[in-house]
Structure 1
């Protein structure tokens, strides 16, 4: 549970006293929209097309059972004495929003919801004004309080932008697909087989996953050519295997989870020369993937 947003009975009751939630009329229907394939507590790197980067928004999407496009109706400041676990220098607000669209949420949402948000005042001590701002929120439900949600992270309220909205929808859709790639937890064994010609050979590196589904990397070397690499999501590496496209869920799973170097335990069964090539091939894959691009702490 996020230490900045403990949803306890006392904290919730204080928030409700500060700003009562009105009764909802008609609930917003649950959906995961596939269409259109930041205001935050921490600064996030902007990407060239606007909004936050793929990895940052994927972190939020994958941890949030509720994602909503909403407009801030009102905010109410909560006294520090009534805001448990508030970090020094921050101010806790109770935010009430009108839900415009539900990007993700199995049980739907009322048209108006509230949540707690910790923010940093500016140098003059002024609290950011959010009224009428369009936001994208990443949250979880609060047990026994249908009109309340809890943000999954201190920076899980973002300025709504077309790019952020489109990314959130696409990632939510991809994560629920039947062929969604598994969560990668590390690197297993590596093997290298030399070819008939000098400089020719193939390296295979097995990855470990949260659900034990097979994932492997293959790197093929031919004299006078750049290495060719691919990732396979089955026991067999066939001709259809290819590197993951940038800004896809498989790319994110790999670029943001793989260690920076091939672990020594992965090459214990290899001869020294083969182990050296396996390490070089692994480094080649990481360079081809590029940086994860995550700017927020998780």
Structure 2
């Protein structure tokens, strides 16, 4: 049997029993409203990075059965949503250090379809973003309310690439804030350089540099070392480095970053930082992180 994951149980005769009410209530908590988490369109890159970053388990699966839960088993479901207990057959494991059995179960709260009815889940191919349930290897818990997504080829490709990028040895660090900024006027009118140092979760150096020369468009670049490479440029959109910057940097340069500069230099640094923000573009998250049934929150 050719599987992309380690089988925890033999497939023959493998069936999950529907969790009892106590287990469902233990997993179910109130969830905030959210837009349709089961869009069949490609997911914004930033949302995918959020999901991949938060998920110890990522699986490509096909739903075998979906049992609607009511009464006490649906406690905490947001208005308009329906809660289902789902059993799904795993076809590929994108991430999961301990492997998965060939069939898993989980709880999902879904919004109605365009006709006002719960969407048809049976036989649907989905991407699952989940965490393990302790001592219950055949069950998982979605990391956020949109931890179950309709499968599409574009999302599948990007999720796999993001999973690789996050663990690469040269992965850009998590940006936590903005440090000091410096501005140096050049010898010619209209010539200058601004450098903005960023703070990171692991202390790795990251800085932005903005160069202005007479008669030329301003150029900006990001450096991931102490040395600024003159040939470096801005990151391509929908890459991990772009995400780290676009989704973490504040809209304006904090006043403390230019507190040591003369007023004219501080104003120039603010203008150069604004240029970087404009050229990065919006982070593009479609939604904020929302707890899943049984979860206590999404990615930070």
Query: What TM-score do the two structures reach when normalised by structure 1?
Result: 0.83
Residue 11 of structure 1: how far off its partner (Å): 2.8
Q: Is the 8 A contact 2:37 2:149 kept in 1?
A: no
User: Does residue 139 of structure 2 align to residue 127 of structure 1?
Assistant: no
Alpha carbons of structure 1 residues 239 and 161: separation in structure 2 relative to 1, 3 Å: same
CA RMSD of aligned residues (A): 2.4
The counterpart of 1:223, out of the listed 198, 205, 214, is 214
Q: Over residues 116-150 of structure 1, what are the superposed CA-to-partner deviations in whole Å (9 max), with x where a residue is unaligned?
A: 00112358652211100110010011100000000
* Alignment-derived partner of residue 152 in structure 1: 143
Residue 236 of structure 1: how far off its partner (Å): 1.4
Residue 46 of structure 1: how far off its partner (Å): 7.7
The correspondence of residues 245-256 of structure 1 with structure 2, limited to 5 A, is 245-256=236-247
* Alignment-derived partner of residue 35 in structure 2: 42
* Alignment-derived partner of residue 173 in structure 1: 164
Q: Is the 8 A contact 2:60 2:90 kept in 1?
A: yes
Where 1:296 maps in the other structure, the secondary structure is coil
Structure 1 unaligned runs (5+)?
Answer: 1-6, 16-40
Residue 43 of structure 1: how far off its partner (Å): 2.9
Q: Is the 8 A contact 2:178 2:198 kept in 1?
A: yes
Q: Over residues 54-87 of structure 1, what are the superposed CA-to-partner deviations in whole Å (9 max), with x where a residue is unaligned?
A: 1111111111111100000000111232234322
Q: Is the 8 A contact 2:252 2:270 kept in 1?
A: yes
Alpha carbons of structure 1 residues 45 and 202: separation in structure 2 relative to 1, 3 Å: farther
The correspondence of residues 187-226 of structure 1 with structure 2, limited to 5 A, is 187-226=178-217
Where 1:281 maps in the other structure, the secondary structure is helix
Q: Over residues 4-35 of structure 1, what are the superposed CA-to-partner deviations in whole Å (9 max), with x where a residue is unaligned?
A: xxx999234899xxxxxxxxxxxxxxxxxxxx
Query: 2 CA distance for matches of 1:278 and 1:9?
Result: 59
Alpha carbons of structure 1 residues 86 and 174: separation in structure 2 relative to 1, 3 Å: same
Stretch deviating more after TM superposition (234-243 or 101-110): 234-243
Structure 2 unaligned runs (5+)?
Answer: 1-18, 28-33, 290-300
Residue 90 of structure 1: how far off its partner (Å): 2.0
The correspondence of residues 1-298 of structure 1 with structure 2, limited to 5 A, is 10-12=22-24, 42-43=35-36, 50-122=41-113, 126-298=117-289
Query: 2 CA distance for matches of 1:90 and 1:202?
Result: 53
Where 2:97 maps in the other structure, the secondary structure is coil
Equivalent residues, number: 266
Q: Is the 8 A contact 2:21 2:72 kept in 1?
A: no
Higher relative contact order structure (alpha carbons within 8 Å, sequence separation ≥ 6): 2
